[in-house]
Structure 1
């Protein structure tokens, strides 16, 4: 029988994918009554193994796609639209010309005239450390990769299975559409997938007091 939704009033430790504050996931907190079978009838790895595997997937994805997108740029396979456009906006922002662009001055003198991407302003701070399009590509790959964390936590919370948590994290990172968006230059809307996953996690766990 499929597991029911966990009791939303249960106390969960933040960032642990649905593990109760006691540090253990009980059949009761997972919504499984006595005598019911778990949703995933497979040998369950420990929470420590689950965390290690998910983090390994996150780090591997971030490293691989950072290297891949940088190699693509160095091979002259990126374009003025949109990586060059974003690079100029970030470069000018840290020099006082907020989101300034000159690629098509007859249309707009600011990136905000094309797209409303204010998230590029804090991202441009990375140019204080390494002023290069590489910074944008690495930030994009890292942020996308981190979206696997809330995905795995939601699977753990709803299905009560460490196997499910790892499987859903892997499915998120292996999704071709997400990878294609990650590879194609830099776009603020590519960050929407991981940010939405984090929003779903915060809503699900009702950790909204700081918003």
Structure 2
């Protein structure tokens, strides 16, 4: 009873800290169009019965990552459409992972104190805190499901395992590779034939359905991330083929300094539990790890973005497995917990709240005032940091360098922050837009304060 109370207390404290941090970041206008505004618009459109065409890309949301979990989750927006639901869902998913993780540690016959150490190692793992700050991503919803699937397989809870696997697959198409890895590991390593076959079958089938039918159908083309692996081919099929038929090209792209740095960052928080005899528990993490190593896309090689989230459960499983065989575990875990705290202090981005996130403090009041002047449902062109505060509409576009040329006549309101353009490469884009708007007789400068400017399209009779 006492341990149960402590466990739920930790879960609750974790939730409120994570939700508080992500909410504070959003209130400081540090959240972004990609991806918080992206998913906020998606949830809003689905809840309103409107086809979820994300206006940032003009593609259907299923053409992004085939994340069908978004449809049932949008019911929260039916109750009340508010972006904070996304932050609540994400913080809850990260926090509730503690429950199956604790049970997994207890299933391995660890003591209550050792199980608590596992939970604390998870909470102090830098990515757990950092990914919560980086907008919203569906991989995080899959995190507790991945841990629960491992637990269910070990305890022979067939229905719970099947539900967990289906939930994982519903979160993002690429997670089908993680599910396939789980199946391979269960079938060949854990001798859980039935569970392994189910995961292998569903993972492979969903990968084919998602990448060859669902995403192309709604995206009018190939899977978006294919471009990051262009050296392997220009389609999912050619990439998979080259992975198996041309291993030399894989090794040529893996051995480089950025990847060594990434491996170091990934494993350093749990370095004291890296026992080669137990590395087989990392088999399901190989697909995600390989994807991150093969690309040159830097966000896939850090402990800030979401790309390493599917690896976390198996790092923790390695910790649990190693702890089973450690002698003098009490003394050992005491020092490793200190190491986890040191890793958190060194790699977690809590310092952003006194550095990066405070840069726009001088413009906050002006930004809020300008947003309040924009009517609902009008077409808006804006900077990325404004987008999550204005995404409850069908049309909202970004004033960024990547989207040039921009036809200003397509918009009813244009809101820009000249001092803080949002993305570095967009400063000249913002300056050029403001000059163009001031010289356009169809637009009126409706608000200007602290370099925050709002232009209104006079040719549109609706506003």
Give the TM-score normalised by structure 1: 0.72
Cα shift at 1:144: 1.3
Q: Tell me the equivalent position of 1:149.
A: 99
Cα shift at 1:160: 3.7
Cα shift at 1:88: 0.4
Q: 1:134-145 to 2 correspondence within 5 Å? A: 134-145=84-95
Structure 2 CA distance, aligned partners of 1:204 and 1:173? Answer: 23
Q: Tell me the equivalent position of 1:20.
A: none
Cα shift at 1:174: 2.0
Structure 1 CA distance, aligned partners of 2:74 and 2:43? Answer: 5
The equivalent position to 1:76 in structure 2, one of 29, 53, 66, is 29
Q: Tell me the equivalent position of 1:66.
A: 19
Q: Tell me the equivalent position of 1:113.
A: 63
Q: Tell me the equivalent position of 2:48.
A: 95
Change (3 A) 1:172 1:91: same
Larger fraction in strand: 2
Where relative contact order (Cα < 8 A, 6+ residues apart) is larger, the structure is 1
Structure 2 CA distance, aligned partners of 1:75 and 1:87? Answer: 17
Q: Tell me the equivalent position of 2:155.
A: 205
Q: Tell me the equivalent position of 1:169.
A: 119
The answer (yes or no) to whether the contact 1:92–1:98 under 8 Å persists in 2 is: yes
Cα shift at 1:98: 4.4
Larger Rg over CA atoms: 2
Summarize deviations over 1:114-139 as a string: whole Å, max 9, x none.
22211111111111223111000111
Structure 2 CA distance, aligned partners of 1:209 and 1:154? Answer: 17
Structure 2 CA distance, aligned partners of 1:130 and 1:166? Answer: 37
Summarize deviations over 1:29-50 as a string: whole Å, max 9, x none.
xxxxxxxxxxxxxxxxxxx222
| RMSD (CA atoms) | 1.5
Larger fraction in helix: 2
Summarize deviations over 1:80-116 as a string: whole Å, max 9, x none.
11000000000001122343311222xx2x1122222
Q: Tell me the equivalent position of 1:10.
A: none
The answer (yes or no) to whether the contact 2:93–2:143 under 8 Å persists in 1 is: no
Change (3 A) 1:76 1:161: same
Structure 1 CA distance, aligned partners of 2:129 and 2:140? Answer: 10
Structure 2 CA distance, aligned partners of 1:131 and 1:204? Answer: 40
Structure 1 CA distance, aligned partners of 2:12 and 2:155? Answer: 25
The answer (yes or no) to whether the contact 1:148–1:170 under 8 Å persists in 2 is: no
Give the TM-score normalised by structure 2: 0.34
| Equivalent pairs, count | 161
Task: Give the SS at the match of 1:52.
Answer: helix
Change (3 A) 1:199 1:98: farther
